[in-house]
Structure formats: C-alpha cells, structure tokens
C-alpha cells in the first residue's frame, strides 16, 4: 500500500478544521435549542437525538420504512412528493445494519455525505478560484446555515455530493461519468432535475460544436442517462399507482393549483417575498415579548437574503462572461422561482446548497477582494448556522 506523503496530511488539516468548526457550531446550537429555547410548532418528544428527526426527515424515514403511498386528490401531504434516492439508500443500509435504529443510520448517512461534500466542494472551488478564494469559499459552504442538515435525516449532503461529482467530472471532460452522476442526482430531488438539465445542455452545446450526427446522437444518449433517475421514478409510479406524475399532483396540498399567469404575477410582484411578517423577529431581537413565532420571520428573511445573493451571483457571472455558470445559475434560480417561490414565497432557498454553489464562489471572491467584508459575511453565516440548529432542535420550522 502506498503511504501518503506528509504534505497530503497537511493538505487535509484545513478541511478537517472546517469540518470540526462546522460540527461544533451545529451541536452547540442543537444543545442550546433543546435545553434553552422555547418549544416551537412541532417539537419531537424524547432525548436530544430524537429532536433531529423532524419535519421532512420524518417523510424520508417513513418512505424507507413503509415505501410510497399515493391517494389521488388527497388534501393532505403525501410522501410521494419526495424523491427516492436517499430513502432507498437508507432502507438498504437498514437491512445491512439491522441492529441500529433506522433514524440513527440516517443521521450518520447525512453526516458522512455532508463531510464528503465539504472535501469535494474545496476541490471544486480550487478549479474555479485562486487558492485563497477557494479556501474562503469552502468556509462559506461549510458554515452556511444549510450545513445543519448534515445532522438530520435529510438528503442535503447526498445531493451536494452528486452535484459536485458531476461538476468535477465535467471539468475533467468526462461526459459519460458526468451523466452518470447527474442521473443519480435526478432521483434525489426535483431541483436536481433542473441542475441535471442545465449541465447536460452545456454538454450538448459543446458536442453541437462538432456539427455531426454522431455528436447529436451522443448528446441524446447523455440526456437519457442524465435524467435516468427521474425516468425510473416516473416508471415506478406508473407501474405502482398508474399515475406516472403522482409526485407532481401530490404537491397540490403544499403549493396549491396556480395558473401560469398567477405564478408570473406573483414573481413580478415579488409576492410573498416582500409580504412576510418580520415583526416577531424585530420584537425578539429587541427583547420584547412576542406571541408569534420569530423562527418563521428568520426563515423568510434568510431565504430572501440568499435568493438576492443568488441573483447577484448570476449578474456577476454574466458580467465576467462566465457563461456556463451564468446558465446554471439562471436555470436553478428560474426553476426555483417558478415552481416554488411563486407559490410559497422564499422557502427552503438556502437549504438547497447546490442551488447556492455560484453564491459560495462569489463569497470566496468577495473575501479575496475585501477581506473585512468577507469576515463579516462569514460571521453572519456562522451565526445563522447556530440559530438554524437551535431552532430545529427546539421544534421550530427550519429557516
């Protein structure tokens, strides 16, 4: 076995330091939220570890334990709206490790994929930025409030591992392997489907430059593999429920049925982006007693800030004529606005870390240009990570 050089270990130390600081902030926040924060909308009774399996984590765990259920036209939420990859891996691990609780296995799966994603992100950042900016971007990624979801039964870490593997293989001009990772990613979450489309369309454009039927056929084949996870999920729903688009129809209880014109009107009016009630947040910060839950105000504020940052990153890449990243950012932000933001307002924007990859790159660049601003932005992000962890453990809805 080849023994790594000492320099290899030295290269690992900064990434290990980032992981340690992230874990410290998360678990300190969980501890404070569990023991000192007031109970929120949906606290989970039992020991501290039980508080980590809440909200969407319950759905993923339910799928791993009982499979999918679908009732057409149901007015309540259904687990069919959640994509299968994370729950499938969790169910397989449960069979391999039957002596461990499935919820605990899920936490370890989320943590392991989250740690791996930090290492992969640093490698990805080094291919796009100078070394100091890449290091700073990695800190922004690891101390994002969404990093909390590396401590709960959420597929956040898994999604980012797959997105980053696809980007890294794309940079290395290995289109078949890129399509493979994109195909897995398309089975992990709806916006990952749009990420797969954005990156595949870049691959197709690069092949179109060859101006040959062979390159066109290759692009179609790559597109099939890049969307293979979604295709498999649709086939499963057709065979099981005779409803190939059940995962879309099941969203009606969450998002409502809006016409394209209504969605466009909501986006143009920035509703309800500017319509959220931030009064409980300002009252809580001022030390005043508030009858309403301040966590929801923080939730909307965080997502508005992150969405604005993503739009700024999009403009930055257009200005620098980095067209590939501008296109990826445009597809992801556009899909988010149309399918989720237009119906629910700024929800879960920051939690989808792969949606914010351009923003983290911009943060690293900001650090290199204006270190003081970078320190301020990173400090605010770390504080948000602590609050996210505390709110989640106390039963408040995630930011």
Contact 244, 238 (CB under 8 A): yes
Q: Is the dihedral of CA 6, 11, 17, 19 positive or negative?
A: negative
Q: What is the pLDDT of residue 4?
A: 36
* Helix 6-36, helix 102-126: angle, nearest 10: 130
Q: Three-class SS of residue 152? A: coil
Q: What is the DSSP string of 82-125?
A: S-SHHHHHHHHHHHHSTTS-HHHHHHHHHHHHHHHHHHHHHHHH
C-alpha separations of 100 from 24, 90, 94, 170 in Å: 25, 12, 7, 37
Q: Chain centroid to CA 33: how far? A: 23
Interatomic CA distance for residues 156 and 86, integer angstroms: 9
> DSSP letters of 318-349?
HHTT-HHHHHHHHHHHHHHIIIIIHHH-S-ST
**pLDDT value, residue 256:** 64
CA R_g for the chain: 21
pLDDT of the chain, 399 residues: tens digit per residue: 333 343 454 567 778 899 999 999 999 999 999 998 878 777 888 888 889 998 899 999 999 999 999 998 888 888 999 999 999 999 999 999 999 999 999 999 999 999 999 999 999 999 888 889 999 999 999 999 889 999 999 999 999 999 999 999 999 999 999 999 999 999 999 889 999 999 999 999 888 877 666 677 888 999 999 999 999 999 999 999 999 999 988 877 666 677 888 888 888 777 666 666 777 777 766 767 666 666 667 777 777 788 888 888 888 888 888 888 889 888 988 888 888 778 777 777 667 767 788 888 888 888 888 888 889 989 989 998 998 899 889 887 655
The per-residue pLDDT for 359 is 82
DSSP state of 236: H
Cα(218)–Cα(318) distance, rounded to whole angstroms? 29
Q: Is 0.85 surpassed by the pTM of this model? A: yes
Q: What sign has the CA pseudo-torsion 178, 181, 185, 186?
A: positive
Note if the bond before 272 is cis, omega within 30 degrees. yes
Q: For residue 206, give both structure tokens.
A: 């690069």
Asked if residues 30 and 52 have their Cβ atoms less than 8 Å apart, the reply is: yes
């Amino acid at each position: 076995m080849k023994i790594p050089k000492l320099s290899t270990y030295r290269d690992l130390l900064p990434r290990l330091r980032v992981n340690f600081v992230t874990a410290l902030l998360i678990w300190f926040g969980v501890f404070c939220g569990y023991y000192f924060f007031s109970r929120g909308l949906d606290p989970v009774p039992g020991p501290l570890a039980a508080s980590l399996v809440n909200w969407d984590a319950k759905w993923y765990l339910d799928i791993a334990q009982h499979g999918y259920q679908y009732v057409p036209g149901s007015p309540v939420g259904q687990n069919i709206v959640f994509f299968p990859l994370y729950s499938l891996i969790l169910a397989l691990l449960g069979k391999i490790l039957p002596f461990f609780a499935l919820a605990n296995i899920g936490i370890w799966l989320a943590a392991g994929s989250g740690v791996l994603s930090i290492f992969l992100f640093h490698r990805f950042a080094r291919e796009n930025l100078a070394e100091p900016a890449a290091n700073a971007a990695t800190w922004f990624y690891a101390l994002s409030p969404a990093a909390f979801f590396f401590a709960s039964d959420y597929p956040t870490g898994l999604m980012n591992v797959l997105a980053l593997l696809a980007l890294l293989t794309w940079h290395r001009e290995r289109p078949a392997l890129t399509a493979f990772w994109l195909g897995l990613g398309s089975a992990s979450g709806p916006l990952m489907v749009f990420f797969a489309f954005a990156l595949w369309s870049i691959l197709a454009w690069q092949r179109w430059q060859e101006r040959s039927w062979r390159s066109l056929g290759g692009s179609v084949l790559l597109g099939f593999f890049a969307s293979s996870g979604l295709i498999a999920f649709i086939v499963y729903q057709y065979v099981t429920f005779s409803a190939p688009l059940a995962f879309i129809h099941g969203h009606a209880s969450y998002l409502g049925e809006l016409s394209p014109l209504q969605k466009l009107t909501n986006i143009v009016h920035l509703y309800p982006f500017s319509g959220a009630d931030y009064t409980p947040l300002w009252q809580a910060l001022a030390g005043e007693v508030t009858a309403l839950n301040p966590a929801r105000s923080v939730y909307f504020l965080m997502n508005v800030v992150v969405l604005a940052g993503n739009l700024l990153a999009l403009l930055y890449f257009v200005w620098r004529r980095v067209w590939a990243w501008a296109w990826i950012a445009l597809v992801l932000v556009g899909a988010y606005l149309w399918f989720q933001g237009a119906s629910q307002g700024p929800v879960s924007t920051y939690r989808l870390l792969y949606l914010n990859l351009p923003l983290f790159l911009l943060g690293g660049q900001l650090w290199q240009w204006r270190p003081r601003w970078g320190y301020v932005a990173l400090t605010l992000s770390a504080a948000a990570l602590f609050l996210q962890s505390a709110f989640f453990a106390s039963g408040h809805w995630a930011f």
